[in-house]
Amino acid sequence: MQTTRTAKFLGLTIDSHLTFKDDVEERVQKGGRAAYTLIKLKRAGVLPTALVQVYCTRIRTIVSYTAPAWFTMISNTSLNKLEGLQMLCRRVTYPELRSYSERLTIAGITTLAVHLASCCEKYIQKTGLPTHRLSGRVPMKPDCHRVTRQKHHVTYKTALRKKSFFVSMFL
């Protein structure tokens, strides 16, 4: 049997080191191709508010598709690549503005890191609902006032793994 460096499962590319670099690259490439739509719409004279809607419904959904699986585990370099895609889209939408923060404020959206973190939080909240398929299978974060004993001590190879999705959201 042959081992592979990556595997694709439901649109998520998982690598052997759980860095998710390949999946982030794929999100950036797909989002970049979709960003070309913004450029064509801008040239056609579409209003900036409509361009923001196109960005949020088309490009941001591509970028955040598998975010709950990898967001807390990606490197700053990968996050910067994703944020760079949003910067490009904002620059196309509002070329007259100089700063990225001004463009975000006018568009009424947050940075991509904040958006992805909220996607993860919403997903975790959904799994706590009794109608969700993962209900009862995923341990929820304990209440702050409750003291819990840990029976098993877990060691992590890196600090990045220690703050992974499963560890940071469930323990």
Per-residue pLDDT of 52-72, as tens digits, reads 999 999 999 999 998 888 888
User: Are 89 and 115 within 8 A, CB to CB?
Assistant: no
| 27-49 residue pLDDT tens | 999 999 999 999 999 999 999 99
pLDDT the model gives residue 152: 44
Can you give the pLDDT at residue 140?
53
- pTM for the whole thing? 0.72
pLDDT at position 13 is 86
| DSSP codes joined into one string, 17-85 | TS--HHHHHHHHHHHHHHHHHHHHHHHTT--HHHHHHHIIIIIHHHHTTTHHHHGGGS-HHHHHHHHHH
Rounded-to-integer distance, Cα 142 and Cα 118, Å: 19
Q: What is the pLDDT of residue 5?
A: 86
* pLDDT at site 108: 93
The reported pLDDT for the residue numbered 163 is 57
pLDDT less than 50: residues of the chain: 142-154, 166-171
